[in-house]
Amino acid sequence: MSGEQVFRLPDLGEGLTEAEVVQWHVAAGDTVTVDQVVVEVETAKAMVEVPVPYAGTVSMLHAEAGSVVAVGAPLISVAAEASGAAEQYRTEERAGSGNVLIGYGTGHAPASRRRARRGRPAQVAGAGPVAGAGPVVGAGPVAPQVISPLVRKLAREHGVDLATVVPGAAHGVIRRQDVEQAIAAARPVAAAEPVAGIERIPLRGVRRAVADKLSRSRSEIPDATTWVDVDATGLIEAKNALAGRGVSLLALLARICVAGLRRFPELNSTVDVAAGEILRLPYVNLGFAAQTDRGLMVPVVQGAHLMSTAELGAEVSRLAGLARRGTLPPAAMTGGTFTLNNYGVFGVDGSNAIINHPEAGILGIGRIVDKPWVVGGQLAVRKVTQLSLSFDHRVCDGGAAGGFLRYVADCVEQPATLLADL
């Protein structure tokens, strides 16, 4: 079969409903082959290289760099002979398998390959082509599109009746920009902004994913926070003694945290609201906060309860490196059961950390500084830090939370305490 094939943004997994076009690798008139990477897109979790399942000549690009494209919306049209791979793609697309990209060479693009934004406002590309382009040819029958949950949420928050929204995309798809236009139309005309030079930064990508998750945590989890000052001199000495084995301070803290969760499993839980149950988990997947150029990320050490201190250190180092390079896959940021947050690297003493939903707790560590401390009845200068624990009050009360924090504090002050749990 020959003709023009329209390749649409496939399901990228992880419940993602859209992606921003970062960089095209082809232009109209170029020749492409099956599985050739044609575009880089950025989701709320990672950079993704998208291959095309058709071979032939590019006839149209349906979205400009910087625009946001909904899953199922056209990306590129190719005048081609349909191949077996293309037929397989169409079968998977119609079935809604969620594995459209599997087998087409998808990878995560390194951050260094991202093209710098040029300062123009992002457009939302739904099912329609970019301005000035011709009509979509040969798209064929399209299954009914489901409105994005993000669009539903936006409409609900602003009191917009979706039945009254006129879709701007083909096939009757209501996109975010359609809802935003409805919101703007209902808003009273405001006077000119009194302050000049206001910078408007789109809340999207990783930043929006973080905002959504933290907002959900604050709205759903009744959290409480407790803290304690500790003498970390012994911990620093242990770290220095193990430096030759590649054990970092964060690795030691991770080991202590895992041991504490074994003693107080209430904090290694999640709440199933629909079932009205607390799920106490038999494994520890330990997340740790990592600040990167793309914003805050929380890589997860899977199966942390099965690792030695050295193994924990190696995995933390590997995941942190991927996060800094922008190549951390989405799967490496899911499934966490508890989070460790070393905000002391920013030079602060304490923080009322927000729990990483749907987990039940987060342990924070402040900066370690020299302070006067009483040792054996005598005043001495010691390495002192503050530990804070934010916990979901639904899974435990202050007794368990305080017991966990006190155990962690004892291990920080006397790391040999860990030997009792080995």
Set 108, 171, 305, 393: catalytic member: 393
Could you tell me which residues come within 8 angstroms of residue 234 by beta carbon, excluding any fewer than 6 positions away? 412, 413, 414, 415
Rg (CA), the chain: 26
Could you tell me which residues come within 8 angstroms of residue 204 by beta carbon, excluding any fewer than 6 positions away? 20, 44, 68, 122
Residue 312's alpha-carbon distances to 4, 249, 358, 411, in angstroms, are 52, 11, 23, 17
Amino acid at 414: Q
Q: How many helices (H) does the chain have, and how many strands (E)? A: 8, 20
Closest CA to 262 of 404, 103, 92: 404
How far apart (Å, rounded) are the C-alpha atoms in residues 212 and 18? 15
How far apart (Å, rounded) are the C-alpha atoms in residues 125 and 19? 10
How far apart (Å, rounded) are the C-alpha atoms in residues 98 and 207? 25
Residues in the chain: 422
Total Cβ atoms within 10 A of residue 168: 15
Residue 393 catalytic? yes
Cβ atoms 413, 230 nearer than 8 A: yes
Burial class (CB in 10 A: 0-12, 13-18, 19+), 68: buried
H or E segment at 270? strand 269-272
Strands 223-231 and 378-392: antiparallel
Name the residues annotated as catalytic: 393
